[in-house]
Amino acid sequence: MAVELGGIFDSAIKNSLFKNKSHLQSNYSPQSIPHREKQIESVASIMAPVLRGERCSNLFLYGKTGTGKTLSVLYVRDEILKRAKEMGIEIRIEYLNCKLKKVSDTEYRILAALIEQLGGSIPSTGLPTQHVYSKFIEIIDSKKQLVVIIFDEIDQAVKKMSSDFLYTLLRMNAELSKAQISMIGISNDVTFLDNIDPRVRSSLGEEEILFPTYNAVQLQDILKERCLEAFKEGVVDDGVIAKCSALAAREHGDARRALDLLRIAGELAEREGEKRITVEYLDNANKKIERDKILDLVETQPTQCQIVLYSILSLTQERKDEKENKLFFTGDVFNLYQELCAKLKLEILTQRRVSDIIADFDMLGLINANVISKGRHGRTREIKLSIPSNLLIKVEEILKESLGI
DNA sequence: AGGTATTCACATGAAACTATTCTCTGAGTTAGG
DNA sequence: TAACTCAGAGAATAGTTTCATGTGAATACCTGT
């Protein structure tokens, strides 16, 4: 990273392509959000009652990643807070992303994070959960106020815990005497509401708003607007924007990804001292994003998982040498894994665990594993490495390095 | 031939365990009055 | 006697292990023609 920054500084001083790069970063909130007028209006009208000092309905927003859910809600929040300040009303609207590392995935931590945002403090561990609950209620109920809590990526939280947590939170109004709370849930999983506790469903989903994915044309508008602010004039071709939005539209209309793509393409072009961004840089950026993601993933795996991955890697190469794409299975991986552990003098995890690790890799997209039945010869996973072949050598290096082979 | 039952080699789930991290509490210790 | 220290009790978490149960289809085994 240090190298990258150095390059940016150098060319930023001389002839940067960027006018203001922050406008392309995902945490930037633009003044206008194209093609989301309707949704923003809905959110605003649902939340408006808080300005009259009334509790607003619970709200649930859903749509795929990068469709502007978070952006829209935060925009409405800022507007409401601005207005409330003018009118001298006290409203608290807290935003919490359930997926952040810090928050992780337990009710304890979510509550702890909320308490912290509300100005209290709570140790990171060591307290009974009940205690944390009462502290939370105490803080909220300390004075007459309206509290709106926005849970971003709420599906992540529920996946790990249970919907009981949400139920308790939703019911909390009954325990509050002075204050009142409402909740806004944001989810990437469109089917989230369908498979949770119906009690939670009915109260969290008092109002629902769907954020549809952007199509290529809409993405193009968004990109154009941001480009005006982010890049200097004449740096970006129309063709580049078109291609960029087409690429992103193909991948589920994710605006965030489109912006990342453009930014990285810009950085790449800048580093090579180009005056304008061409289509090739987009392709390179696309590759670079993928590459960085995989390498980072591999690098940050715990040792045991790395050994499993290394086993898979070895098996892939072994089988490729022999015949064309002979597949292998969980059992093969586990055997090789055991040998490796013995060689490295590490303790051997159970097959049960290794099976889970393999399933995790599948989730992460490092491998492709299908459960198949080989009839009389049992049921197992058919495993295929899905790391692009140009990265294989690099990945192998990383693994060898960190395992000390 | 056609139908049914077995059986393999794991997958998948749930519960229980372990090591580690952290707070809180109260007993024992210390130092100052 | 008040302040301080420090070990032990409790609690939460991540990563595992243990135990239990599930599963899809190739194969073995019938059954009647």
pLDDT digit string (tens) for A235-279? 777 788 888 888 888 877 888 888 888 888 888 888 887 778 888
Q: Does residue A160 surpass a pLDDT of 70?
A: no
A359 nearest nucleotide via C1' and CA = B11
A325 touches strand C (CB under 7 A): no
Q: Does residue A164 surpass a pLDDT of 80?
A: no
pLDDT computed for residue A288 by the predictor: 92
3-state helix/strand/coil string of chain A: CHHHHHHHHHHHHCCCCECCHHHHCCCCCCCCCCCCHHHHHHHHHHHHHHHHCCCCCCEEEECCCCCCHHHHHHHHHHHHHHHHHHHCCCEEEEEEECCCCCCCCCHHHHHHHHHHHCCCCCCCCCCCHHHHHHHHHHHHCCCCCEEEEEEECHHHHHHHCCHHHHHHHHHHHHHCCCCEEEEEEEECCCCHHHHCCHHHHHHHCCEEEECCCCCHHHHHHHHHHHHHHHECCCCECHHHHHHHHHHHHHCCCCHHHHHHHHHHHHHHHHHCCCCCECHHHHHHHHHHHHHHHHHHHHHCCCHHHHHHHHHHHHHHHHHHHHCCCCCEEHHHHHHHHHHHHHHHCCCCCCHHHHHHHHHHHHHHCCEEEEEEECHHHCEEEEEEECCCHHHHHHHHHHHHHHHCC
Q: Does residue A396 surpass a pLDDT of 90?
A: yes
Render pLDDT for A321-334 as a digit per residue (tens, 0 to 9): 665 556 899 999 99
CA A318 – C1' B14 distance (Å)? 37
CA A332 – C1' B8 distance (Å)? 16
Share of chain A above pLDDT 70, in %: 91
Q: Does residue A384 surpass a pLDDT of 80?
A: yes
Which positions of strand B lie within 7 Å of protein CB atoms?
A: 6-14, 21-24
A329 touches strand B (CB under 7 A): yes
pLDDT computed for residue A380 by the predictor: 94
A124 nearest nucleotide via C1' and CA = B22
Question: Which of A178-187, A312-321, A328-337 holds the top average pLDDT?
Answer: A328-337
CA A108 – C1' B18 distance (Å)? 21
Q: How confident is the model at residue A162 (pLDDT cuts 50, 70, 90)?
A: low
Task: Answer with the residue of higher pLDDT: A389 or A358.
Answer: A358
pLDDT computed for residue A15 by the predictor: 62
A354 nearest nucleotide via C1' and CA = C16
pLDDT computed for residue A101 by the predictor: 58
pLDDT computed for residue A352 by the predictor: 95
Which positions of strand C lie within 7 Å of protein CB atoms?
A: 10-20, 22-27
Q: Does residue A195 surpass a pLDDT of 80?
A: no
A338 touches strand C (CB under 7 A): no
A350 touches strand C (CB under 7 A): yes
pLDDT computed for residue A326 by the predictor: 67
A377 nearest nucleotide via C1' and CA = B8
Q: Which range (A12-16, A29-33, A57-61) has the least confidence?
A: A12-16
A379 touches strand B (CB under 7 A): yes
pLDDT computed for residue A12 by the predictor: 56
pTM over 0.85: no
